[in-house]
Structure formats: C-alpha cells, structure tokens
Chains A and B, each alone.
Chain A
Amino acid sequence: MIAICGVGQLVGAQGGFERWIGISDLAAAYSSAAVDQQLLIAQSFITLLDTIRSHFHEGQLLQAARFLLASWALIHVPGFPRWLALVVGLPGVTSTLLWLGNSILIDGVPFFPFTLAHVLIFVLGANVAVAVTLFRQPQPAPSEA
C-alpha cells in the first residue's frame, strides 16, 4: 500500500515538474513578449497553475496516506522507536488537513502559512528525526528482534 501511494504520488511530482519547466518557460517568454502577448501568456499561466494545483491536490492526498501507512507499519516493526513512528505519522495528519482545507472546506483559498508549517516543521522534522536517529544507530532496530 505504501509503495502504491509512492507510485501514485508521481502525479504530484509531475505537477512539480510542470511547475519547474512550464512556469520557467512561460516567464522567459513573458519577459521578451510584447504587451498584448503578455496578456495571453498570463492567461496561459493561470491555466497551467490550475493544472499544477490539481496534480498537487492528488499528490497531497497520497502523501498523507503514505505517511500514515508508513507510521502504522513502523509502529509494528519490532525494536523501531515508537516515538519516531509517531513523528513520521504527523506529516500525514497535517497533509490530510491541508488537503481538506484546500479542496473541500475553503476551496481555492491559499493556505500558505499552514503549508509552510507543514513542510518546514512536520515533513522536515520527520525526515531529520529519521535520518539522525537511524544514522546514530548502526545496527537497524528491526534486526534486534
């Protein structure tokens, strides 16, 4: 299930790729275009942005599922620190809230501060916690069972 979520999240990664290449190319065209062409490019930008957002929405949901499933799986791994498994689950909760906030509760309203907190506190915190804890533990916990 985690692998399926990971593969499904490629849809979200595709949104990131479109944002990386597509918006950069539109910006390059915009800066060298005449005023009437700039309006057309700006319209294309909005269309592209909507496409990217829909990819990110799906990626967000699958990211939430992936973190929550990973947390659930890690809790059941003998010897794996339970607190660390719960920390891995936190971004799943915030990702779910973000998905709900952006797509159902307040559709279209940007949720930037919460997104920032989700990425910089919960996702980064979980990754740092996993990296530091497992790097400091030469023998992986599961092999101790």
Chain B
Amino acid sequence: MPDTPAREGVVRDRADGHDRGGGSADSLGSPSIRFSDHGRMVARIAHNEATMMSLSASAFRWLPVASAAASLAIIGLAVVGLAGIGNQTGDQAMGDKYVELLQAVRSPALHRVEMFLVWRAG
C-alpha cells in the first residue's frame, strides 16, 4: 500500500475502469481513499460524490424557484395574450401575416407586456 497515493494525478475507478479527474491531497482535502486489491489507489469516490451532491443540492434549491417563475410568466402570457389582447376581426384586415402588427397597433402597452413575457418564458 503506497504511503502517498493522493499525489497521483489521475485515479482509476476499479468498478468501471474509467479515468476520473483527481488532484493533490491539498486540493481535495481529506476524503476517504479506496485501494484496489493490488494496492493502488482507485478513487476518491466519497469526496467526489460529496462534491457532486453539494453541487446538486445547490442547483436543486433554485430549481423550484426557477420553475415557479417560468410558470408565472407562462400563465401571465396566456392571460395577457388570450384575454387581454385577444383577436378582433380588424386584426385580419391585411391578412394573417400582419395580425401581430395590427394587434400591436391596437394595444401597444399590452403587446409590450405580452412580448416581455414571451421573452421571459422562453
């Protein structure tokens, strides 16, 4: 069993045989170290998993907030677009292609709000 296995740059996971990014003992702290049957260090799995979980936990804290914000933007978009601006017969005066232009002429403020929500929801 080597004395300073943590100095190896790249460590290999015995289970799947893939290289994993490693580092010095100083940069990785003092994680648990596993050794293969042949005395080689195989991975700092516990430390890497802890780091991943920490990152995941951070991301997962913001996920419901971001989802709630997107939900509100989409609901607001539907309310403004369907109930606020709506479709009027005059919007078709120049053909289907120009409906949005005439809607924006008819309800400029609501159109700006709707487009902001489209941008936000997208």
Contacts and interface: CB of A to CB of B under 8 A. Distances in A.
A24 B98 contact: no
A133 to B, nearest CB: 8
B114 to A, nearest CB: 9
Contacts of A24: 104, 108, 111-112, 115
Contacts of A27: 101, 104-105, 108, 111
B53 A30 contact: no
B83 interface: no
A23 B111 contact: yes
Contacts of A26: 101, 104
B56 A77 contact: yes
Residue of B65, B104, B116 contacting most chain A CB atoms (<10 Å): B104
Nearest to B58: A140
Contact of A127 (B53, B74, B94, B105): B74
B118 A20 contact: yes
B60 A127 contact: no
B33 interface: no
A31 B105 contact: yes
Contacts of B116: 20
Given A45-B98, A127-B67, A131-B68, A30 B60 contact: no
Nearest to A143: B57
Contacts, number: 103
A107 to B, nearest CB: 15
A123 to B, nearest CB: 6
Nearest to A14: B119
Interface of B is mostly: helix
B97 A19 contact: no
A130 B57 contact: no
Contacts of B60: 134, 140-142
Given A123-B74, A143-B57, A145-B53, A23 B67 contact: no
Interface in A3-49: 9, 12-13, 15-17, 19-21, 23-24, 26-28, 30-31, 42, 45-46, 49
Interface of B: 53, 56-57, 60-61, 63-65, 67-68, 70-71, 74-75, 77-78, 94, 96-98, 100-101, 104-105, 108, 111-112, 115-116, 118-119, 121-122
Given A16-B118, A110-B96, A130-B67, 14 more contacts: A9-B122, A12-B122, A17-B119, A24-B104, A27-B105, A30-B105, A42-B94, A49-B100, A120-B78, A127-B68, A131-B64, A131-B65, A142-B56, A143-B56
